[in-house]
Chain A
């Protein structure tokens, strides 16, 4: 069964540094998402992306965050200047369409630790 893959599995970075989290969605999927989970808290929606543009974003997704689909396979989340509170598990997801018949397929996540 095809899977969403995320790299790296764990990223450690210093506060103020830029970090890029990478995801390879399922190949025939058209919609891409980032969610995050701070330790001990709920999984939170960050952003959805379709047709090379952001379709929806949450209040968490401020100017420090950006997403990109640089080629036909990768989907990246960039944090420009990381803060301690950005430490979390970041999940990428994809789906083949929006609506009732298109469940999200999640990756294994990247654990980001900001020191």
Chain B
């Protein structure tokens, strides 16, 4: 069965410091990975997906099939990055997503 693991419930960094939010997955087929972000009192929003290989708000994530990881990175954290971040795995052709438990990122001044 598929599974997504986000080992850190809370990650606290100082403004300007690098950020890495960890995500590992377990899936026997060809995975499609996403990062969703939820700012305080707002909806879940798609941040980025591995097939796009894009950088959104300075964040990037590379799918590493050997390590079954899809870590989210940003070189310099900003205060507005404080939010809940969810890694998600889509399996098959539908939109059934398996989410991780989320990591709360707190950027301190």
With an 8 Å Cβ cutoff, the count of chain A residues facing the other chain is: 28
Contact, CB under 8 Å: B51 / A100: yes
A-B contacts counted at CB < 8 A amount to: 54
Contact, CB under 8 Å: B43 / A104: no
Looking at the complex, which one of A91, A104, A109 makes contact with B95 (CB distance below 8 Å)? A104
Looking at the complex, which one of A43, A95, A109 makes contact with B86 (CB distance below 8 Å)? A43
Task: Tell me the bound Cα distance from A89 to B55 in angstroms.
Answer: 30
Q: Which residues of the partner chain A approach B46 to less than 8 Å between Cβ atoms?
A: 103-105
Q: Which residues of the partner chain A approach B102 to less than 8 Å between Cβ atoms?
A: 42-43
Contact, CB under 8 Å: A109 / B43: yes
Closest to A100 in B: B51
Closest to A103 in B: B46
Contact, CB under 8 Å: B44 / A43: yes
B69 close to A (CB within 8 Å): no
Q: Which residues of the partner chain B approach A99 to less than 8 Å between Cβ atoms?
A: 93
Contact, CB under 8 Å: B93 / A108: no
Q: Which residues of the partner chain B approach A109 to less than 8 Å between Cβ atoms?
A: 43
Distance to closest chain A CB from B96 (angstroms): 5
Contact, CB under 8 Å: A108 / B95: no
Distance to closest chain B CB from A99 (angstroms): 6
Q: Which 3 residue pairs spanning A and B have beta carbons closest together?
A: A43-B99, A106-B44, A103-B46
30 residue pairs A–B, Cβ–Cβ below 8 Å: A33-B95, A35-B97, A42-B86, A42-B100, A43-B44, A43-B88, A43-B99, A43-B102, A45-B96, A45-B97, A45-B98, A48-B94, A55-B94, A56-B94, A58-B96, A91-B43, A91-B44, A93-B95, A95-B95, A98-B93, A98-B94, A98-B95, A99-B93, A102-B95, A103-B46, A104-B97, A105-B46, A106-B36, A108-B43, A109-B43
Chain B: residues with CB nearer than 8 A to chain A?
Answer: 32, 34, 36, 42-46, 49, 51, 86, 88, 93-102
